Homo-oligomer: A and B are copies of this chain.
Amino acid sequence: MEHVTALEHDRERLGRSSTAEKVADILRERIAEGFFAPGERLSEEAIGRALGVSRNTLREAFRLLSHERLLEHKLNRGVFVRVLSAGDVSDVYRVRRVIEGAAVRRATPEGIAAMREALREGEQAAEEKRWRDVGTANIRFHQALARMNDSQRLDDVMRQLLAELRLVFHVMIDPRSFHGPFVPRNQELVALLAAGETDRAARALESYLDDAEALLIEAYRPREN
């Protein structure tokens, strides 16, 4: 547990409201960016000391993140960064088909505008070859799509889903070939929605999700035993 000392830069961020939630925020970010790799065990002792919080508080944070499926709690063995199986990936995409598919049929001008905004970010990032940012913009794009369901709870589910997916993105060796091709597909989707071509938009979305899932599953195959 040597590299945990890098966490100490985050200590200053603890100070506002509930400590456990702050800790959860920090850890969530660190997991998203891959600082903590999937499968890695998070030691109560080491992280608690690095962040300067007690084990009780840290355990509360762990509980929160376990419930978000970012950590996995194994009884008497500790918490580990979640490792998604190929089955998990399929499940995530099944949910996305349901939620995003429903959103397509409830398109609104404001929603489409928000999607355009995220799309623009993605185009910009792609042009500058910031492929990780392309991935982030893509996530925002689909979050904006899902938001047209106009439901707080569906937004929460979607946010959690995409956070799980970020866990998987780290297995993609080449972020360009994974994230890059989705920019034009997002453009197409927005154009169809703006034109009121609901059915064609739904089909374009299906095809997008099928391809993205297939790519991820394919990248998984070598590692799964």
Q: CB-CB < 8 A to A68: which residues of B?
A: 67
Which residue of chain B lies nearest to A90 when distances are taken between CB atoms in the complex? Answer: B151
On whether the beta carbons of B95 and A154 are closer than 8 Å, the reply is yes
Q: How far is the CB of A69 from chain B (nearest CB, A)?
A: 9
Q: Per DSSP, are chain A's interface residues mostly helix, strand or loop, or mixed?
A: helix
On whether the beta carbons of A98 and B94 are closer than 8 Å, the reply is no
Q: If the complex has contacts A59-B60, A60-B59, A63-B63, are A102 and B91 also in contact, measured as CB distance less than 8 A?
A: no
Within 8 A of B (CB), among A151-168: 151-154, 157, 161
A125 at interface, CB cutoff 8 A: no
Q: How far is the CB of A204 from chain B (nearest CB, A)?
A: 18
Q: CB-CB < 8 A to A18: which residues of B?
A: 75
Within 8 A of B (CB), among A56-110: 56, 59-60, 63-64, 67-68, 75, 91-92, 94-95, 97-99, 101-102
Q: CB-CB < 8 A to A75: which residues of B?
A: 17-18
A143 at interface, CB cutoff 8 A: no
On whether the beta carbons of B149 and A153 are closer than 8 Å, the reply is no
Which residue of chain B lies nearest to A20 when distances are taken between CB atoms in the complex? Answer: B63
Q: CB-CB < 8 A to A161: which residues of B?
A: 153
Which residue of chain B lies nearest to A69 when distances are taken between CB atoms in the complex? Answer: B153
Which residue of chain B lies nearest to A94 when distances are taken between CB atoms in the complex? Answer: B151
A127 at interface, CB cutoff 8 A: no
A175 to B193, CA, bound (A): 44
Within 8 A of B (CB), among A132-175: 149-154, 157, 161
A 15-49 to B, binary, CB cutoff 8 A, 1 in contact else 0: 00110100000000000000000000000000000
A-B contact pairs, 17 of them (CB 8 A): A17-B75, A20-B63, A56-B56, A60-B60, A63-B64, A64-B67, A91-B151, A91-B153, A94-B149, A94-B153, A94-B154, A97-B102, A98-B98, A98-B102, A98-B154, A153-B157, A157-B157
The 9 residue pairs across chains A and B that have the minimum distance between CB atoms? A67-B67, A98-B102, A94-B151, A63-B63, A95-B153, A91-B151, A56-B56, A91-B153, A91-B152
